[in-house]
Amino acid sequence: MLAEAEIAKLAVRYGQAVDRLDAAALTALFAEDAVLEGPGWRYQGHAEIGAIIPIIAAHFAHCWHAVYDQAITVSGDTASGETYSTARHLLRGDDYQAHQVMSMTLRYRDQFRLIDGRWQYTRRSQLLDWMETATVQKLGDHIVAKQVA
């Protein structure tokens, strides 16, 4: 149970690292030779995985990740799992009227290994189940998203 709880925290820390644009925190979650991949992209090793942070910062004004259900199976010093998640990305624009929000419904198929007493990702494969886009509008001091038809 302790291993499962420690592994489950990795998904939350992954979202925090991306949302905070923290390359060091992100790469610390991965084994040195780990693979992070998704539809049409693949990064391997700390240098490549850390390099996604400037790419994210260039495309999105803000990111917000949430973690839902997780199923984790531990076998000695390795583990596998599936994580359900939502990632919301506010695209960059001249002002909030120009912004679009991309909401992605995701599943991650994960592989883990216990390395020097810490669980780390060895492979994180993102599966995009669907994506929704909404227009962001500013109403007074509040920002609201309206579904794009």
CATH number of the domain where residue 142 is located: 3.10.450.50
76 vs 74: CA distance, rounded Å:
6
> Residue 34 sits in which domain range?
2-147
pTM: 0.86
pLDDT tens for each residue of 103-128: 999 999 999 999 999 999 999 999 99
Contact present, 56 and 80 (Cβ < 8 Å): no
22 token code pair:
């923290």
Kind of pairing between the strands at 78-91 and 60-75: antiparallel
pLDDT tens for each residue of 18-54: 999 999 999 999 999 999 999 999 999 999 999 999 9
**Percentage of the chain surpassing pLDDT 70?**
87
pLDDT tens for each residue of 58-108: 888 889 999 999 999 999 999 999 999 999 998 876 665 467 888 999 999
Question: How high is the pLDDT of residue 149?
Answer: 46
Number of domains in the chain: 1
Query: How many Å from the N-terminal Cα to the C-terminal Cα in the chain?
Result: 45
- Kindly provide the residue ranges of all beta strands, DSSP E only, lying in the chain, ordered along the sequence: 30-38, 41-44, 60-75, 78-91, 100-115, 118-139, 142-147
Residues in the chain: 149
| Mean pLDDT over each residue of the chain, to the nearest integer | 89
64 vs 52: CA distance, rounded Å:
16
